[in-house]
Amino acid sequence: MDIHSILTEKFKLSAQHVANIVALIDEGNTIPFIARYRKEQTGSCDDQVLRELSERLSYLRGLEKRKAEVCAAIAAQDKLTEDIERPIEQAVTLAEVEDIYRPFRPKRRTRATIARERGLEPLADLIEAQNLKQGDIDALCAPYIDAEREVPDTEAALAGALDIIAERISDDAMLRGQLRALCQRQARLCSLAATEEDTVYRLYYDFAEPISKLPSHRILAINRGEREGALKVRIDLDEEAALALVYRRALRLGSITTHYVEAAATDSYRRLIFPSLEREVRADLTERAIEQAIRMFGLNLRPLIMQPPIKGKVVMGFDPAYRTGCKLAVVDPTGKVLDTALIYPTKPHNKIEESKKILRRLVERHGVEVIAIGNGTASKESEIFVAQTLGELDSPVQYATVSEAGASVYSASKLGAEEFPDFDVSLRSAVSIARRLQDPMAELVKIDPKAIGVGQYQHDMPAAQLDETLSGVVESCVNSVGVDLNTASPSLLGYVAGLTASTAKNLCLYREENGAFTSRTQLKKVKGLGPKTFEQCAGFLRIPGAVRTLDNTAVHPESYAAVERLLELFGYSESDLTEGGLSELPEAVKARGEAEVSEACGIGLPTLRDILSELMRPGRDIRDSLPPPVLRADVLDMKDLKAGMDFMGTVRNVVDFGAFVDIGVHQDGLVHISAMADRFIKHPSEVVAVGDVVKVWVQEVDVPKKRISLTMKAPK
């Protein structure tokens, strides 16, 4: 199997680019580094393609390893022939390899095993051959009747022989492949009620749908309903069509033993093959659904982390609660905690006037400009209280509802305790809520991505697979934005390409002991940060106010000499970069010819273009070009909503069937996929992403059930 050729075909890349990517991965380079700084070698592949290629490379290498193991295991039994080895070599999936290996795999003690021990395999051979045109079964079985071997009569001999034949048919790799294909074309997933109670799974109490059309969220819902005892689930496949395939493969007409083989084939399908296929189909459906769900987690997490920061503002974090009171934390523009308080504006205390005084005092004392309200328990009451209080203030303070998913996880974590040892858990949560409005990325990286709460059925996902995907998304986001080397937390630094938790801590320790970094070259003095790590991480670390302005850009140190040649070529210097005097450089490069300039600088075209982009806006934050979060000064109740009303809302979650949008009434509304666009779309992610600010219209409101139906299509 030529792995490079398979990757070339699958990803539609040139053979040279695939070879380069594989070599770069094998050399220990990180995906963000390859994507950003090795574009000439990869054909400018983005990090998502590189991650998928890396995963596929691992799978194919695992497949090659398994093929070698299977061949060795069969050879050890002296049964490896060219007819067996060739299909193994040609197999393109692990399932195909395991099908071929199935007859040779050590088995637990089965009915067929017992029959072989009783000496009935030769009889099975005679019956399965179906060569006898005349005679009777008694005469055929007579030589194998042996009371000492527990084969007392013809019936026992025949039963044992048919058990052997049934197992052989079940182990037929080609037959299994044909039946698997039939399942994919025709099988249906069916579910019935397993209880008389009315549950959230009532939609699936009498349900059937072809497995080829089942959406992922439905598969996961049915699986959960089965686990919770609400549903009985099975795979329905036309047995007549399936048995036709089995008979075509197993029977030869005209023999006195044919109808016995037919009986063995029927038994094989019903007892061995179909139960196995059913388990396999269910496993494949679940795997497909999990992959889609994890993909959605990744799609939702990226825009959530990439939400633009609210820079230069003093923010108050407001963690709502009932009995235990609402916790407040005021943080300055850098995230430093200035003040904290505890108020009781909600039931059962309802100390509204006292709470207003405290809130007003904090706002006036610290110049609070925005209040971030967590969207958890008591959020609605807290939002009403805040809106009323702001209406009584002279200063223009606004508020925003912030998802507090994961805030409690951070608050109770070792990291939270280390950062705020003198705060209780709830106060840490208030700080986290404020900071995640100020800089979502810097705060969310402190939380296990699984706890951030985007997507569906996160607790049903394989933890390792979900962790790998979400960590990859966070890593991609962090490295695409860049990290301030002098202010970043160890949590944020840990996601920088090439850095580990250990080297991130060492960076912070060096910073504490030696003061702020003034140059990227100082990284080489950090314990555990060798040449390879420096190569991987340096371009993603920014130093505002550095001695060299290039140290605050995404230009890699390995390209500094190229930048110097570029500036010299057009009569500029680095001081012009600091003073913003390079505005005419791109046009000058274009006029001379990019190819000529890149050759003169000793770099490729993609690198030249990236360098020019950075020189135009040194220290830029790509998040600044995104729409800011919606800030409010008043509040609506769900009862105030009427069909036809329009709002600017924030997308909170995207799922396979639509998107949930926050329009400021505490209960998110659903925009169904059919109400998202005037054109056909296969998936909501084609139109919206988490964090998007969109205009929506109210279609329907069901107050008792707390359901809001929205549309993104303007009323006609």
- What residue spans in the chain does CATH classification 1.10.10.650 cover? 3-104
Q: From CA 285, how far away is CA 290, in angstroms rounded?
A: 8
3-state SS of 405-430 is: CCHHHHHCCHHHHHHCCCCCHHHHHH
Q: For residues 377 and 322, is the Cβ–Cβ distance under 8 A?
A: yes
- What residue spans in the chain does CATH classification 3.30.420.140 cover? 315-454
How many Cβ atoms are within 10 Å of 331's Cβ, its own excluded?
Answer: 26
Phi, psi of 519 (to 5 degrees): -155, 145
Could you tell me which residues come within 8 angstroms of residue 82 by beta carbon, excluding any fewer than 6 positions away?
none
As a CATH number, domain 638-711 is 2.40.50.140
pLDDT of residue 636: 65
Angle, CA 298 vertex, CA 295 and CA 300 arms, to 5°:
110
Q: From CA 594, how far away is CA 468, in angstroms rounded?
A: 39
β-pairing verdict for 315-319 and 231-236? unpaired
Assigned superfamily of 3-104? RuvA domain 2-like (1.10.10.650)
Q: For residues 644 and 698, is the Cβ–Cβ distance under 8 A?
A: yes
Angle, CA 486 vertex, CA 480 and CA 487 arms, to 5°:
75
Q: From CA 247, how far away is CA 268, in angstroms rounded?
A: 11
Phi, psi of 189 (to 5 degrees): -90, 125
Q: Mind listing the pLDDT tens digit for each residue in 479-512?
A: 999 999 998 999 999 999 999 999 999 999 999 9
Radius of gyration of the chain (CA): 33
The CATH class that applies to domain 111-297 reads: mainly alpha
As a CATH number, domain 315-454 is 3.30.420.140
pLDDT of residue 579: 67
- State whether residue 110 is helix, strand or coil: coil
pLDDT of residue 304: 83
- State whether residue 535 is helix, strand or coil: helix
pLDDT of residue 506: 96
CA distances 420 to 31, 424, 429, 484, 707, Å, are 34, 8, 11, 22, 39
- Concatenated DSSP letters of 345-405: -STTT--HHHHHHHHHHHHHHHT--EEEEE-STTHHHHHHHHHHHHHT-SS--EEEEE--T
Q: For domain 510-625, which CATH number applies: 1.10.150.310, 2.40.37.10, 3.60.15.10, 3.30.750.24?
A: 1.10.150.310
Find tokens 């500036």 and name the residue.
567
Q: How far apart are the first and last CA of the chain?
A: 58
β-pairing verdict for 669-672 and 370-374? unpaired
Closest CA to 431 of 442, 512, 388, 345: 442
pLDDT of residue 632: 65
For the record, the structure tokens of 323 come out as 């009995």
β-pairing verdict for 693-702 and 646-655? antiparallel
Question: Can you name the residues that pair with 54 across neighbouring β-strands?
Answer: none
Question: Can you name the residues that pair with 402 across neighbouring β-strands?
Answer: 374
What parts of the chain have a pLDDT lower than 50? none
pLDDT of residue 635: 61
pLDDT of residue 127: 94
Closest CA to 165 of 249, 274, 70: 249
Question: Can you name the residues that pair with 339 across neighbouring β-strands?
Answer: 330
For the record, the structure tokens of 214 come out as 């089942």
Could you tell me which residues come within 8 angstroms of residue 292 by beta carbon, excluding any fewer than 6 positions away?
216, 656
pLDDT of residue 18: 97
How many Cβ atoms are within 10 Å of 698's Cβ, its own excluded?
Answer: 19
Q: pTM for the whole thing?
A: 0.78
- Concatenated DSSP letters of 431-450: HHHHHHHH-HHHHHTTS-GG
- What residue spans in the chain does CATH classification 1.10.150.310 cover? 510-625
The total number of residues shown for the chain amounts to 716
HSE-CB of 22 using CA atoms within 13 angstroms = 19
Closest CA to 447 of 470, 420, 476, 469: 470
Find tokens 């991650």 and name the residue.
51
